[in-house]
């Protein structure tokens, strides 16, 4: 049997030709309602895939990030399908894999907030760590029974480097996780390596450094800042309460990073890759650029609140993305300053205000909401 993967790697045109001659490629995405889930789904749909996403049942709609790509499945030509499930529910994960028969699985689902993982360590470990293992086990059985290859992407994190053992951090740098979230990601990372080596699964770990966008969750530091800038300009907020401003992160643009995920699954051999910009900036620098974009001095608006501190902090992250650059031919397209300004512009636009950097074209409509008890 010729698998859809066997004749193409990174050349998009080759893939399109093949997809039209044979059945459509099917991808299954966990965490499809999240920031990365929405961008990877757009990318896969553009490439002609049939995309299946796992969503959780919620009492109010939380599909803002994917509403623009959703087409009623009763309509002809629909290519995006949603399935109820949860990473803590192995039976359902198995059933969905059996039904969808995916060629590729992107495991992006997670309780992804580091600070929250200290409050809910058991749940975070179950969903982030065991969730990945549940998928790997389901793939192992499905592949063995049917002979159909399923390629697997595991959303690893720079948080796994934690109290860093080397600067910058590469695929060779040992992990030293500093939160329940990071410990669970390390578990998922090694399970992925182990399933690749034990059962010859095509399973890749992306070790992605922080990546942001106008679709970033409102409680991560970048979006918390850019949203506050817009609300301060609008006159609906007067201060922003924050924790450690000295932490340094390697921040890139999420849309670039999902491209790297896809590229990993198109290679001849499964492998692990660091995806990063290779630059680091402090939270203070982020504040400077974000407030500076609307000619405000951040010092006048930022106040300290210890509830935003973590029991253990990750002080400095900076990635060495040489392997991704050479093997995947991947590189970031957006600079730090452009990223910050784009996010501020998008948040200003969401409030109906003028944005100094011009219009940010994003088909996903990100609504402004009141944050209740947000971290
Ligand atoms: P995100 O915006 O927080 O999205 C997380 C997604 O996971 C949401 O769709 C969420 O669904 C879903 N989810 C949460 N708990 C789940 C569960 N128990 N079962 C099934 N789905 C569940 O995260 P992101 O920024 O897109 O990140 C994507 C992945 O990359 C995550 O695994 C994250 O840990 C990892 N990562 C992110 C970064 C980054 O900088 N963004 C860097 C490295 C690694 P709801 O919408 O229902 O909550
Ligand atoms: O914090 C500091 C905070 O929550 C960044 C997730 O996507 O990236 C993300 O994890 C830094 C930390 O992201 C506030 O202490 C200061 O040092 O935006 P963050 P994170 O913890 O780096 C990694 C790669 C992931 O994998 C995760 O899923 O900013 N900080 N004051 C603050 N952080 C928050 N959230 N809120 C503050 O008020």
Q: How far is the CA of 286 from the centre of ligand 2 (A)?
A: 12
pLDDT at position 88, please? Answer: 98
Amino acid 21: pLDDT: 54
Is 215 near ligand 1, meaning CB less than 6 Å away?
Answer: no
Sign of CA dihedral 178, 263, 215, 251: positive
Under 8 Å between Cβ of 52 and 28: yes
Q: Is the CB of 160 under 6 A from ligand 1?
A: no
Helices 336-350 and 221-234: crossing angle in degrees, nearest 10, is: 50
At 2 the pLDDT is 31
Question: DSSP class of residue 51?
Answer: E
Ligand nearest to the CA of 220: 2
* Residues sharing a CB contact under 8 Å with residue 58, sequence separation 6 or more, in sequence order: none
Residue 359 pLDDT: 85
Q: Which of 212, 233, 252 is nearest to 355 (CA)?
A: 233
Q: How far from 156 is each of 257, 269, 288, 346, CA to CA, in Å?
A: 12, 18, 29, 27
Going through 279-362 in order, the beta strands assigned E by DSSP cover 281-282, 302-304
159 is catalytic: yes
Report the alpha-carbon angle 188-199-201, nearest 5: 65
| End-to-end C-alpha distance for the chain, whole angstroms | 51
Give the closest ligand to the alpha carbon of residue 314: 2
Is 157 labeled as catalytic in the residue annotation? yes
Quick: pLDDT tens for 218-277.
999 999 999 999 999 999 999 999 999 999 999 999 999 999 999 999 999 999 999 999
Measured CA to CA, the distance from residue 371 to residue 178 in angstroms comes to: 27
Atom 24 in ligand 2: residue holding the nearest Cα: 210
Give the pairing of strands 80-84 and 240-242. unpaired
Q: Compute the distance between CA of residue 203 and CA of residue 283 in angstroms, rounded to an integer.
A: 34
- In the set 42, 50, 104, 159, the catalytic residue is 159
State how far the Cα of 172 lies from the Cα of 124, in Å rounded to an integer: 26
- Give the tens place of pLDDT for each residue, 149-159: 999 999 999 99
Chain-centre distance of CA 85, in angstroms?
19
In the reported structure, the alpha carbon of residue 34 is separated from the centroid of ligand 1 by a whole-number distance in angstroms of 5
Q: Which two tokens stand for residue 267?
A: 């290679």
Residues of the chain with pLDDT under 50: 1-20
Q: What is the residue-averaged pLDDT of the chain?
A: 93
How far is ligand 2, taken at its centre, from the CA of residue 327, in Å? 29
Q: Which of 49, 106, 153, 181 is catalytic?
A: 181
Q: Report d(CA 205, CA 200) in Å as an integer.
A: 14
What's the token pair of residue 76? 């002809």
Q: Which residues, including other chains, have CB under 8 Å from residue 43's CB and lie 6 or more apart? A: 258, 259, 262
Tokens of 31: 């965490």
Instruction: Report the pLDDT value the prediction gives residue 19, as an integer from 0 to 100.
Output: 44
Q: CB under 8 Å to 222, separation ≥6 — which residues? A: 210, 212, 216, 251, 286, 340, 343
Q: Give the pLDDT confidence score for residue 371 in this predicted structure.
A: 65
Q: Which two tokens stand for residue 160?
A: 């796994």
Instruction: Please report which ligand is nearest the Cα atom of 281.
Output: 2
- The dihedral through the CA atoms of 227, 228, 233, 236 has a sign that is positive
Going by alpha carbons, the residue nearest to atom 22 of ligand 2 is: 210
pLDDT at 361: 83
Runs of H (alpha helix) within 177-318: 180-199, 221-234, 254-264, 283-292
Question: Rg of the chain's alpha carbons, rounded to an integer?
Answer: 20
In ligand 2, which atom is closest to the CA atom of 114?
21
Cα–Cα distance for residue pair 221/248, rounded to 1 Å:
12
Ligand 2 — pocket residues by CB below 6 A?
A: 112, 114-115, 157-159, 209-210, 219-222, 224, 242-244, 247, 249, 283, 308, 310, 313-314
């Amino acid at each position: 049997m010729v698998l859809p993967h066997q004749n193409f790697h990174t050349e998009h045109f080759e893939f399109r030709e093949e997809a039209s001659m044979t059945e459509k490629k099917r991808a299954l995405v966990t965490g499809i309602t999240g920031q990365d889930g929405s961008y990877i789904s757009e990318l896969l749909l553009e490439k002609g895939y049939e995309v299946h996403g796992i969503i959780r049942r919620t009492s109010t709609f939380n599909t803002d990030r994917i509403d623009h790509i959703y087409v009623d499945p009763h309509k002809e030509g629909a290519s995006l399908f949603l399935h109820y499930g949860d990473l803590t529910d192995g039976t359902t994960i198995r059933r969905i894999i059996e039904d969808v028969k995916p060629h590729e699985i992107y495991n992006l689902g997670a309780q992804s907030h580091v600070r929250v993982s200290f409050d809910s360590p058991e749940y975070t470990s179950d969903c982030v760590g065991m969730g990945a293992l549940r998928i790997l086990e389901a793939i192992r059985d499905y592949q063995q029974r049917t002979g159909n290859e399923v390629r697997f992407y595991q959303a690893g994190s720079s948080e796994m480097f934690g109290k860093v053992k080397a600067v910058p951090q590469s695929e060779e740098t040992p992990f030293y996780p500093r939160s329940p979230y990071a410990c669970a990601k390390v578990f998922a990372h090694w399970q992925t390596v182990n399933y690749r080596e034990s059962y010859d699964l095509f399973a890749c770990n992306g070790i992605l450094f922080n990546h942001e966008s106008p679709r970033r969750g409102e409680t991560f530091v970048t979006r918390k800042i850019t949203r506050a800038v817009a609300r301060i300009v609008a006159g609906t907020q007067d201060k922003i309460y924050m924790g450690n401003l000295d932490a340094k992160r390697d921040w890139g643009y999420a849309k670039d990073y999902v491209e790297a995920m896809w590229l990993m699954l198109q290679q001849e051999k499964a492998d692990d890759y660091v995806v990063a910009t290779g630059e680091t900036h402090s939270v203070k620098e982020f504040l400077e650029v974000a407030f500076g974009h609307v000619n405000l001095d951040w010092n006048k608006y930022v106040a300290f609140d210890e509830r935003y501190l973590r029991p253990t902090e990750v002080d400095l992250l900076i990635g060495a993305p040489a392997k991704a650059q050479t093997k995947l031919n991947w590189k970031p397209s957006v600079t730090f300053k452009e990223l910050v300004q784009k996010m501020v512009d998008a948040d200003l636009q969401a409030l109906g205000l003028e944005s100094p950097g011009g219009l940010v074209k994003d088909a996903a409509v990100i609504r402004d909401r009141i944050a209740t008890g947000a971290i």
